[in-house]
């Protein structure tokens, strides 16, 4: 029996499984994910390696009930359905699965075929997340997407007819984006009637093509006031459509929130396998080798592609849980925070700053939880800078 409250809690909590497929047909100019373009992939070899990493992690998390499996990337819809099926079957063999386990696969519209989607559904995938990104051909070209609008609409039709749950992504605050144009685009997106939308403001990530264009002045984003207006409009329209914000960039009908991502934001444990995948298990942060070939060779040699395993002391867990939890509309549950981190919430924040922020209407503090208000979510990074003790 452990004396560490965080470890004691983790041994009973549900576990999420993240599977990273690192390959894409091309690299988008805004993307800083661990994605790579390769002329060919040995699917059988990759399938065997992913299954082997699952077995390695299962030995370290025995008996943990799995609440979700998420195939991310990269472009997981480039995987063979038999690989997806083999991974799902292996997870079910290695861990107990909760009833109604959520199994999500990310897909790009250009890689969608009806037959392949049917294969993913037969494999056990019950939720799909489509990287549509824009409902405008000029914007799709700007974003470096390989699909056009008609392909995106066709992919949505296939997804809705194949899977019980469908989400898709859009990027707003793009160059030239106005309140009027976003209102029309978001209205069209909401009319599809999916139960979940991920709506992201375009941000410039270091080491991307967009970062270089932005530095040179060849890429101009809407100003701060316009960005705030676009965010405000997003909240108003999604609430009216019955898909309110539950996380700073994610909207869903009640009960249709991404259970997998909620594990992250509520600071639960998750296993991450595949190149560059991160994980959090038993108060340890894990990271796999990023380069696909290096990861593959390591798994074949040692049974895993781990590059780092870093124990997380209580104060670090508390910092991470604060950053993740304040992204949620529900905020941070005090009892869960202490159980997961070993630190009381009031000890993890600057209480004087917190009371000032509450008086200004940026956060709400109750005996049960701490949460950012709508006003606070609009300036979340600044809010965290004020609240964090470090």
Q: What is the pLDDT of residues 123-138, one digit of tens each?
A: 999 999 999 999 999 9
Dmax of the chain from CA atoms?
Answer: 59
**Over the stretch 74-97, which tens digit does the pLDDT of each residue have?**
899 999 999 999 999 999 999 999
**Over the stretch 187-231, which tens digit does the pLDDT of each residue have?**
999 999 999 999 999 988 998 899 999 999 999 999 999 999 999
| pLDDT given for residue 115 in this prediction | 79
| pLDDT given for residue 3 in this prediction | 40
Exposure class string for 93-103: b at 16+ Cβ within 10 A, else e: ebbebeeebbb
Residue 53 has pLDDT above 60, yes or no: yes
71-75, 166-170, 285-289: least confident range: 71-75
5-265 under CATH 3.40.1190.20, yes or no: no
**Over the stretch 173-183, which tens digit does the pLDDT of each residue have?**
999 999 999 99
Q: Across all residues in the chain, what is the average pLDDT?
A: 93
| pLDDT given for residue 8 in this prediction | 40
With contact defined as beta carbons under 8 Å apart, do 109 and 88 qualify?
A: no
Residue 2 has pLDDT above 70, yes or no: no
Q: Where are the domains of the chain?
A: 5-265, 331-387
| pLDDT given for residue 111 in this prediction | 64
191-205, 281-295, 376-390: least confident range: 376-390
**Across 318-347, average pLDDT:** 97
| pLDDT given for residue 114 in this prediction | 67
Q: How far apart are the first and last CA of the chain?
A: 32
Percent of all residues in the chain with a pLDDT value above 90, rounded to a whole number: 85
Residue 112 has pLDDT above 80, yes or no: no
């Amino acid at each position: 029996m452990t004396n560490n409250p965080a470890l004691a809690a983790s041994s009973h909590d549900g576990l999420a499984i993240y599977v990273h497929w690192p390959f894409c047909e091309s690299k988008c100019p805004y993307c800083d994910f661990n994605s790579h373009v390769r002329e060919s992939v040995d699917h059988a070899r990759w399938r065997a390696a992913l299954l082997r990493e699952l077995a390695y992690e299962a030995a370290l998390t025995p008996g943990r009930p799995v609440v979700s499996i998420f195939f991310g990337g990269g472009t997981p819809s480039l995987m063979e359905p038999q690989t997806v099926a083999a991974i799902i079957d292996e997870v079910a063999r290695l861990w107990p699965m909760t009833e109604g386990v959520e199994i999500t696969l990310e897909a790009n519209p250009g890689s969608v075929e009806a037959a392949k989607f049917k294969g993913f559904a037969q494999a056990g995938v019950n939720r799909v997340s489509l990287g549509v990104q824009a409902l405008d051909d000029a914007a799709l070209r700007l974003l470096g997407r390989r699909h056009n609008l008609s392909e995106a609409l066709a992919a949505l039709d296939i997804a809705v007819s194949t899977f019980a749950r469908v989400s898709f992504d859009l990027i707003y605050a793009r160059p030239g984006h106005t309140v009027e144009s976003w209102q029309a685009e978001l209205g069209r997106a909401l009319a599809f009637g999916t139960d979940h939308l991920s709506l992201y403001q375009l941000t410039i990530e270091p080491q991307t093509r967009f970062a270089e264009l932005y530095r040179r002045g060849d890429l101009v984003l809407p100003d701060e006031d316009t960005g705030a207006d676009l965010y405000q409009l997003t909240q108003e329209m999604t609430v009216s459509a019955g898909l309110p914000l539950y996380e700073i960039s994610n909207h869903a009908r009640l009960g249709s929130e991404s259970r997998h991502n909620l594990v992250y934001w509520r600071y639960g444990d998750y296993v991450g396998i595949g190149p560059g995948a991160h994980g959090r298990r038993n108060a340890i942060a894990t990271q796999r080798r990023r380069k696909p070939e290096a990861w593959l060779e390591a798994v074949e040699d040692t049974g895993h592609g781990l590059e780092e395993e870093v124990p997380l002391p209580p104060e670090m867990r508390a910092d991470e849980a604060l950053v993740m939890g304040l992204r949620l509309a529900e905020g941070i549950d005090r009892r869960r925070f202490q159980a997961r981190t070993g630190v009381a919430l009031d000890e993890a924040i600057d209480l004087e700053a917190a009371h000032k922020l509450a008086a200004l209407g940026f956060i709400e503090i109750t005996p049960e939880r701490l949460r950012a208000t709508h006003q606070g979510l609009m300036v979340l990074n600044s809010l965290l800078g004020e609240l964090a003790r470090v």
